[in-house]
């Protein structure tokens, strides 16, 4: 009887340990699903962007010409926004590096704020130009559908910030 109990304890322990190991290794995989943390590889980013493009093309019913134009537009936007994002990141580091006790602190903060305001202005203009170009690519029906998709995504993000689940 005692041997049976020991054997069942060993089997149960082994089963639990293997479940933990397999579950943890699946969670820590490079793809990692939605729970992946860290800097994604360029291949992962390319795959993710292609998936988004395919989903958008499917939902909007884009033809092959529109797909190529949208892809080129997104690539151009990404390339033009990259230096602006790098500047924004540098401003954050600069702000974090300031000494609040320094006599020039207020002046430095004001300079960073002015630079950031100009940077935000440039980014907003670039986004607006991108939206205008997108409006020339899509039909009026596709634009209406895209606006609805943006509204759903915005509602989803708003709900996630407040711990709610978006239903639909």
Digit-coded pLDDT (tens) for 57-75: 999 999 999 999 999 999 9
pTM, whole model, 2 decimals?
A: 0.63
- pLDDT tens track for 37-58: 678 888 888 888 889 889 989 9
pLDDT-derived band of residue 23, with 50, 70 and 90 as boundaries? Answer: low
Is 147 inside a domain boundary?
yes
Is 30 inside a domain boundary?
no
Number of domains composing the chain? 2
Instruction: Say whether pLDDT at 21 is over 70.
Output: no
Is 125 inside a domain boundary?
yes
Residues 88, 104, single domain; the answer is yes
User: Which residue in this structure is represented by tokens 């239903």?
Assistant: 167
Max Cα separation, the chain?
81
pLDDT-derived band of residue 115, with 50, 70 and 90 as boundaries? Answer: very high
**Separation CA 75–CA 9 (nearest Å):** 58
Residues 152, 110, single domain; the answer is no
Residues 105, 145, single domain; the answer is no
Residues 154, 78, single domain; the answer is no
Residues 61, 91, single domain; the answer is yes
Contact of 91 with 116, CB cutoff 8 Å? yes
Residues 86, 101, single domain; the answer is yes
Is 80 inside a domain boundary?
yes
Instruction: Say whether pLDDT at 82 is over 80.
Output: yes
Q: Tell me what pLDDT residue 153 has.
A: 81
The larger pLDDT score, comparing residue 158 to residue 120, is at 120
Residues 64, 131, single domain; the answer is yes
pLDDT-derived band of residue 114, with 50, 70 and 90 as boundaries? Answer: very high
Residues 110, 67, single domain; the answer is yes
Residues 119, 152, single domain; the answer is no
Is 8 inside a domain boundary?
no
Residues 110, 78, single domain; the answer is yes
User: How far, CA to CA in Å, does 62 sit from each of 57, 81, 166?
Assistant: 5, 25, 27
Q: Name the residue range of residue 149's domain.
A: 140-168
Give backbone dihedrals phi and psi of 144, rounded to 5 degrees, phi first.
-65, -45
Q: Tell me what pLDDT residue 101 has.
A: 92
């Amino acid at each position: 009887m005692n041997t049976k109990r020991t054997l069942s304890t060993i089997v149960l322990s082994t089963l639990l340990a293997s479940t933990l190991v397999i579950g943890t290794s699946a969670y820590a995989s490079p793809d990692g699903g939605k729970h992946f943390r860290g800097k994604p590889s360029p291949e992962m980013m390319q795959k993710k962007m292609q998936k988004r493009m395919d989903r958008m093309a499917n939902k909007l019913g884009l033809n092959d010409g529109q797909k190529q134009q949208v892809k080129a537009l997104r690539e151009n936007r990404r390339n033009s926004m990259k230096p602006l994002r790098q500047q924004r990141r540098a401003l954050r580091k600069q702000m974090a590096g300031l000494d609040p006790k320094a006599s020039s602190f207020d002046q430095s903060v004001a300079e960073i704020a002015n630079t950031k305001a100009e940077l935000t202005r440039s980014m907003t203009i670039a986004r607006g130009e991108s939206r205008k170009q997108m409006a020339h690519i899509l039909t009026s029906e596709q634009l209406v559908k895209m606006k609805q998709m943006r509204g759903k995504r915005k509602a989803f993000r708003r709900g996630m910030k407040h711990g709610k689940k978006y239903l639909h």
